Structure 1
Amino acid sequence: MNDLARGAAVPDLAPQELRILVAVEEEQGFTAAAARLGTTQSAVSHAVRGCERKLGAVLFDRGRHGARPTEAGARAVAYARRILRLLGAMGPEVRAAGLADGAGEVAGTLRIAAFRSVAAHLLPPVLAALAARHPRLTAQVRIVREVGRGTAGEVADGRADLGLATLDAGGPPAVPGLVAVRLFEESYALVHPDGHPAPRGLPLVDWDENCGSYTRSWWDRQDWIPPATIDVEDDTVAVSLVSQGLGMAIMPRTALLGAPAGLAVTDLGPQPPSRYVGYVTTPELAGTAAVRALIRELRSAPLPEGLAAA
Structure 2
Amino acid sequence: MTDLAPRELRVLVAVGSEGGFSAAAAVLGMTQSAVSHSVRTSEGKLGAVLFDRGRSGATPTEAGVRALGHARRVLRLLEVMAAEVRAGGTGPGSLAGPLRIAAFRSAALHLLPRALERLTARHPEVVPEVRIVREVGRGTAGEVLDGRADIGIATVGTTSPVPSGLVGGVLVEEGYALVHPVGHPAPRTLPLVDWTENCTSYTREWWAAQEWLPAATVEAEDDGAVLSMVSSGFGMAVMPELSLIGAPPSVEITDLGAERPTRSVGYVTTPELARSLAVRALIRELRSRTA
- TM-score with structure 1 setting the length: 0.91
Alignment match, 1:274: 262
How many percent of aligned residue pairs carry the same amino acid? 66
Alignment match, 2:77: 86
CA contact (8 A) 1:169 1:214 kept: no
TM superposition shift of 1:24:
0.4
CA contact (8 A) 1:169 1:275 kept: no
1:290 aligns with 2:281: no
1:140 aligns with 2:116: no
Paired residues for 1:116-135 under 5 Å = 116-135=105-124
Amino acid at match of 1:110: L
Amino acid at match of 1:148: G
1:66 aligns with 2:66: no
Alignment match, 1:234: 222
1:201 aligns with 2:192: no
Q: How far apart in 1 are the matches of 2:225 and 2:200?
A: 19
1:179 aligns with 2:167: yes
TM superposition shift of 1:214:
3.7
1:156 to 138, 145, 152: 145
Q: How far apart in 2 are the matches of 1:292 and 1:158?
A: 17
CA contact (8 A) 2:159 2:200 kept: no
2:95 to 106, 114, 117: 106
1:226 aligned counterpart, secondary structure: coil
1:259 aligned counterpart, secondary structure: coil
1:228 aligned counterpart, secondary structure: coil
CA contact (8 A) 1:129 1:297 kept: yes
TM superposition shift of 1:278:
0.3
CA contact (8 A) 1:184 1:276 kept: yes
1:163 aligned counterpart, secondary structure: strand
TM superposition shift of 1:104:
5.0
Q: 1:50 to 1:61 in 2, by over 3 A?
A: same
TM superposition shift of 1:171:
4.9
Q: 1:94 to 1:295 in 2, by over 3 A?
A: same
User: What root-mean-square deviation, in Å, do the aligned CA atoms of Structure 1 and Structure 2 show?
Assistant: 1.4
CA contact (8 A) 2:104 2:135 kept: yes
Q: How far apart in 1 are the matches of 2:160 and 2:204?
A: 15
Deviations 1:121-144 (A, max 9, x none): 111111110111000100000000
Q: How far apart in 2 are the matches of 1:103 and 1:191?
A: 44
CA contact (8 A) 1:209 1:233 kept: no
Q: How far apart in 2 are the matches of 1:95 and 1:21?
A: 27
Q: How far apart in 2 are the matches of 1:267 and 1:17?
A: 55
Q: How far apart in 1 are the matches of 2:202 and 2:145?
A: 22
1:30 aligns with 2:21: yes
Q: How far apart in 2 are the matches of 1:59 and 1:262?
A: 53
Which stretches of structure 1, 4 residues or more, deviate above 4 A after TM superposition?
101-104
CA contact (8 A) 2:174 2:263 kept: yes
CA contact (8 A) 2:160 2:201 kept: no
CA contact (8 A) 1:116 1:144 kept: yes
CA contact (8 A) 1:192 1:264 kept: yes
CA contact (8 A) 2:167 2:270 kept: yes
Q: How far apart in 1 are the matches of 2:199 and 2:64?
A: 31
Deviates more, 1:254-263 or 1:28-37: 254-263
Deviations 1:102-130 (A, max 9, x none): 88521110000000001001111111101
Gaps of 5+ in 2: none
2:30 aligned counterpart, secondary structure: coil
Amino acid at match of 1:151: T
2:205 to 217, 221, 234: 217
TM superposition shift of 1:270:
1.6
Q: How far apart in 1 are the matches of 2:94 and 2:145?
A: 27
Amino acid at match of 2:221: E
Alignment match, 2:40: 49
CA contact (8 A) 2:190 2:236 kept: yes
TM superposition shift of 1:169:
2.6
Amino acid at match of 1:297: E
TM superposition shift of 1:268:
1.1
Deviations 1:214-233 (A, max 9, x none): 41000111111001111111
Q: How far apart in 2 are the matches of 1:171 and 1:190?
A: 22
Amino acid at match of 1:221: A
Deviates more, 1:111-120 or 1:209-218: 209-218
> Which structure's residues are more often helix, by fraction?
2
Alignment match, 1:306: none
1:246 aligns with 2:237: no
Amino acid at match of 1:28: G
Q: How far apart in 2 are the matches of 1:109 and 1:43?
A: 30
